[in-house]
Amino acid sequence: MPTSIPQPVWSTREKALVFACLLLMGMVMWRSSLAMSPTYDEPAHIVSGMAYWQMHDTRLFPEHPPLAKMVAAAPVVLFAPRPDYSTNTFCGRAPCEWIFPQQYLSQTKDPARILALARWPMILVTLILGAMVYRVSRRLFGQAGATLSLLTYASSPFFLGYGALAITDILLAVFCLSSCEALANFDEATGMRSTCQFSAACTAACLTKFSAGLMLSVYLVTCVWKLRQNPSQTSIHKIATRFLLMVILTVSGITLFYVFFCDHTSSAVLLKERADSFQQSPHLAAWGRQVATWLDGHATIGKIINPLALYVIGLVCFFAWFDLPGYVLGTFHTSGVWYYFPTVFLFKTTPMFLLLLVVAALLWLQRKRNRNPLSEEPSVDGHERNLKSVLVMTLLVFTASSMASNINLGIRHFSVPILILHVLVGAVVPWISEVAVARSHSVLRIFWITVLVGATLTGVSAFPNYIAYFNFLRGDVPLQDIVNDSNLDWGQSLPAIEQFRAEHGITHLYVNSATMTEPNLYIQGAKPWICGEPVPKDAEWLAVSANYLTQGQPNCNYLFRLPFSIIGQGTTYIFQVRNRIQP
């Protein structure tokens, strides 16, 4: 049975440090979230979550499972008006998941309050994840290493920006990290308990995002690694049996969740309505109609399998939109490219964290070269070694999957690898102490000062638009010509446009933002417009998302013939119309 090194008891000072760090992070996230309008996906997430609670209906936005949407929508259900579910835009057709939420925001006339209610629980989730990062890193690298992991996490523009949004990616990271901890605890003495813990965490992850199914792959990869390391302690039969049990438990948990919260949706009706949206895959659309017809003709069977069928339909909807091309390094790609996520990570990660990763890699190589094969560290055997292995396997599986996927829409889809790197970077502190034994005190003092200064500078300079953060490696290249979409402008800059309008006394403003939210909900007198269309005759100013001003085609770069200002940390260009120009 694996043994673990006893961990020091948390002191009052240590608890206060962690609490203060996370409290400051929460305050910064909350303040920055108030400066952001709804991002593109948030209204659909929030209102579909309300439909789960109030109607037990999953017809809106089935491409994402219910859990994260329900977490975000919980306070909105309690303290905001109820949507009008009797309208014909509350349906299972693809456009409805965008139209119905926008109608609700327009009817309430107070989208900022709805958004604030929905973002509170997501900020809390991000803070809980921060505490988990500290706990796991502490278990592996001690208090000093955990402190480094927490500081880099709390000052990361990725978590400060996306952590406040009502989306699925951060909650997915929470449950994936929980799955890693449960998987690391597998041994013969606690086999069933660990299996149940892993299945529970995996169930929650799969109810958050469909890509969470990769955790089952992590289990298989980890088992193969253990089998090669010590064939006498396990067998293929045990691995297969436990894997089958985990699949059964996970599927059962998903089914029960859908029984309780999605029982008012017919899988046959949803599949019929959704089949029309599978334009990218005519064969899939035809298959969907055939299955829907079969379910209609076998009502009893359809009712029995309805909960699980709804989940599978959501998975089918997800794969129907799996080929979503993106823009990277000046080129629009018709399908995903393997270097998209490495590129985004390189340009949107803080220089301090990139440097820490380089230092960690160099120290790891040196330790590997100097290690005496006859000597072992105290933690070579035990849960710590298992946990390190599971984290590395999860990092490799999710990174490989992201690079192989055709969804090139934003670094937020890379949340699990980013999280694990923030845990593992804690190894730098004890490794530095090993290398610089004689001068470790002075070296670590310089190290901590550098880390604190770097974290502070990043947090202050990127505030409040952390989503649009890019590091100095971009040089003089416009942000939108590196990567765009949810990496830059995701519709969050409407308040910045309103501030510019008020400062300049603008009356005739047309807006083309990367959001479906009506601009006049945030910008007084603003009118929607698409920059590929002729400039309106009464336009005096034009606010255009940077996403539409790339060097790659198609674009609206004809507007650069007009005087312009850049606001929202590079997310939006404001053009002054002094002469008539057309596309």
The Cα 220–Cα 224 span in angstroms is 6
The Cα 475–Cα 18 span in angstroms is 35
Last residue of a domain, one of 413, 435, 470: 470
Q: Residue 483 pairs with which residues in a beta bridge? A: 328
Q: Same domain, yes or no, for 305 and 391?
A: yes
* Residue 476 forms part of a structural domain: no
Q: Same domain, yes or no, for 58 and 207?
A: yes
Produce one character per residue of 276-302: b if its CB has 16 or more CB atoms within 10 Å, e if not. ebbeebeeebeebeebbeebeeeeeeb
Q: Same domain, yes or no, for 243 and 339?
A: yes
The enclosing H or E element of 424 equals helix 415-424
Q: What pLDDT is attached to residue 378?
A: 47
Q: What is the bridge-based pairing of β-strands 327-328 and 331-332?
A: antiparallel
The Cα 432–Cα 26 span in angstroms is 31
Q: Same domain, yes or no, for 443 and 517?
A: no
Give the angle 453-456-459 at the CA atoms, nearest 5°: 150
Q: What pLDDT is attached to residue 579?
A: 67
Q: What pLDDT is attached to residue 556?
A: 87
Q: What pLDDT is attached to residue 123?
A: 98
Sheet hosting strand 527-528, strand order edge to edge: 527-528, 509-512, 541-545, 572-576, 564-567
Q: What phi, psi does 462 have (nearest 5°)?
A: -90, -10
The pTM assigned to this predicted structure is 0.92
Q: Supply the DSSP string of 487-553, one letter for each residue.
A: GT-SSTTHHHHHHHHHHHT--SEEEE-SSSS-GGGTSTT-EE--TTSPPPTT-SEEEEEGGG--SSS
Q: What pLDDT is attached to residue 392?
A: 94
Q: What pLDDT is attached to residue 102?
A: 92
Q: Supply the DSSP string of 323-390, one letter for each residue.
A: -B--EETTEE-SS--TTHHHHHHHHHS-HHHHHHHHHHHHHHHHHHHH--TT---TTSSSHHHHHHHH
Cis peptide before 464 (omega within 30 of 0): yes
The Cα 435–Cα 389 span in angstroms is 23
E strands, 166-236, in order: none
The Cα 28–Cα 126 span in angstroms is 12
Cα separation values, 127 from 21, 26, 143, Å = 10, 7, 18
The Cα 227–Cα 128 span in angstroms is 34
**Which two three-digit tokens encode residue 447?**
């190290």
Q: Same domain, yes or no, for 276 and 370?
A: yes
Last residue of a domain, one of 470, 502, 532: 470
Q: Which amino acid is at 474?
A: R
* Residue 69 forms part of a structural domain: yes
Q: Same domain, yes or no, for 102 and 248?
A: yes
User: Please, which residues have CB within 8 angstroms of residue 139's CB and are 6 or more apart in sequence?
Assistant: 4, 7, 383, 384, 387
Q: How many domains does the chain have?
A: 2
* Residue 373 forms part of a structural domain: yes
Which class for 428: exposed (0-12), middle (13-18), buried (19 or more C-beta within 10 A)?
A: buried
* Residue 264 forms part of a structural domain: yes
Nearest alpha carbon to residue 443 among 427, 454, 430, 424: 430
Q: What phi, psi does 116 have (nearest 5°)?
A: -60, -40
Give the three-class secondary structure for 100: helix
* Residue 215 forms part of a structural domain: yes
Q: Same domain, yes or no, for 411 and 531?
A: no
Q: Same domain, yes or no, for 353 and 462?
A: yes
Nearest alpha carbon to residue 353 among 469, 451, 488, 446: 451
pLDDT tens track of the chain, all 583 residues?
A: 444 445 678 889 999 999 999 999 999 999 999 999 999 999 999 999 999 999 999 989 888 999 999 999 999 999 999 999 999 999 888 889 899 999 999 888 889 999 999 999 999 999 999 999 999 999 999 999 999 999 999 999 999 999 999 999 999 999 999 999 988 887 644 567 888 889 999 999 999 999 998 998 898 888 887 777 776 666 777 778 888 888 999 999 999 999 999 888 888 888 888 877 665 666 777 777 788 788 878 778 888 888 988 998 888 888 776 666 778 888 888 777 889 999 999 999 999 999 999 999 999 998 888 775 544 454 444 678 889 989 999 999 999 999 988 788 889 999 999 999 999 999 999 998 887 766 778 888 889 999 999 999 988 989 999 999 999 998 889 999 998 889 999 999 999 999 999 999 998 999 999 888 899 999 999 999 998 888 888 889 999 999 999 877 678 888 998 999 999 999 999 999 876 666 6
Q: Same domain, yes or no, for 449 and 554?
A: no
Cα dihedral 468, 134, 427, 12, rounded to 10, equals 130
The Cα 482–Cα 234 span in angstroms is 48
Produce one character per residue of 154-191: b if its CB has 16 or more CB atoms within 10 Å, e if not. bbbbbbbbbbbbbbbbbbbbbbbbbbbbbbbbbbeeee
Q: What pLDDT is attached to residue 1?
A: 42
Q: Same domain, yes or no, for 424 and 502?
A: no
The enclosing H or E element of 17 equals helix 12-34
Q: What pLDDT is attached to residue 234?
A: 66
Q: Same domain, yes or no, for 528 and 387?
A: no
Q: Same domain, yes or no, for 24 and 170?
A: yes
Produce one character per residue of 329-367: b if its CB has 16 or more CB atoms within 10 Å, e if not. beeeeeebbeebbebbbebbbbebbeebbebbeebeeee
The Cα 456–Cα 450 span in angstroms is 10
Last residue of a domain, one of 470, 485, 518: 470
Q: What pLDDT is attached to residue 3?
A: 45
Nearest alpha carbon to residue 351 among 454, 228, 197, 421: 454
Q: Which amino acid is at 305?
A: I
Q: What pLDDT is attached to residue 232?
A: 65
Q: Which domain holds residue 188?
A: 11-470
CA atoms within 13 A on the CB side of 29: 31
* Residue 388 forms part of a structural domain: yes
CA 360 to chain centroid, in Å, comes to 25
Contact 569, 465 (CB under 8 A): yes
The Cα 517–Cα 490 span in angstroms is 11
Give the angle 267-271-276 at the CA atoms, nearest 5°: 165
* Residue 482 forms part of a structural domain: no
* Residue 426 forms part of a structural domain: yes
Q: What pLDDT is attached to residue 368?
A: 82
Cα separation values, 390 from 177, 186, 224, 384, 425, Å = 10, 11, 12, 10, 15
Length of the chain: 583
